């Protein structure tokens, strides 16, 4: 299946912010969770690709556009939940500064993977396709992720943007009302 076309999958998770230097983290894929295209990434699906490429061999793009690299992935690894990523926007790039501003406002927080399928199995019922091995090429910051639970999620240090603090306060208040 080496000549299979590159596929793109969009994914999402609750936005937490981004450091002043453009560093952020989140999940670019979640295991055992069907996306809107009916694909389910299985644990271990990225292992061979990550071993072969490492974080430095995976591109960070804006909206899957190969003409729009906007930063670098500092860490890309599988954990029990999915494909956890930590990256840094290159603030010398105009588009990366725009993306940072959009992320701080909460206007953009989706993550999406671009890959080739190496091994998959279609399920006869439900129309799901289980991805057992994929060759990961890129992870993009996107507006509309295909997997609604894969998003930029946390910040390590650095002040959160004022809107992020307000959103967190509103979420805490809503949670207390729910019990």
pLDDT at residue 20, as a whole number: 77
Domain spans, the chain? 7-178
What's the farthest any 2 CA atoms get from each other in the chain? 53
- Residues with catalytic annotation? 64, 112, 138
Q: Which residues of the chain register pLDDT less than 50? A: 1, 10-16, 155-163
pLDDT at residue 28, as a whole number: 96
Taking the alpha carbons at both ends of the chain, their separation in whole angstroms is 51
pLDDT at residue 105, as a whole number: 83
pLDDT at residue 90, as a whole number: 96
Q: Kindly report the backbone phi and psi dihedral angles of residue 173, in degrees, each rounded to the nearest multiple of 5, phi listed first.
A: -65, -45
pLDDT at residue 124, as a whole number: 87
Stretch (H or E) spanning 102: helix 94-105
Rounded Cα gap, residues 57 and 80, in angstroms? 23
Print burial letters for 28-55: b (CB count within 10 Å at least 16), e (below 16).
Answer: bbbbebbbeeebbbbeebbeebbeebeb
Q: pTM for the whole thing?
A: 0.77
């Amino acid at each position: 299946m080496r000549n299979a076309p590159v596929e793109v999958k969009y994914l999402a998770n609750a936005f937490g912010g981004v450091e002043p230097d453009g560093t952020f983290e989140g999940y670019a894929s979640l295991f055992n969770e069907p996306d809107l295209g009916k694909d389910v990434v299985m644990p271990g699906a990225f292992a061979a690709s990550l071993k072969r490429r490492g974080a430095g061999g995976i591109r960070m793009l804006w909206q899957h556009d190969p003409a729009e690299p906007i930063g670098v992935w500092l860490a890309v690894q599988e954990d029990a939940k999915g494909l956890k990523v930590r990256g840094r926007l290159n603030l010398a790039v105009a588009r990366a500064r725009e993306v940072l501003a959009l992320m701080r406002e909460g206007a953009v927080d989706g993550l999406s993977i671009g890959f080739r399928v190496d091994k998959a199995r279609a399920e006869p019922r439900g129309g799901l396709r289980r991805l057992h091995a994929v060759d990961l090429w890129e992870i993009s910051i996107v507006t509309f992720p295909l997997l609604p639970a894969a998003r930029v999620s946390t910040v390590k240090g650095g002040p959160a943007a004022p809107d992020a603090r307000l959103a967190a306060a509103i979420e805490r208040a809503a949670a207390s009302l729910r019990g």
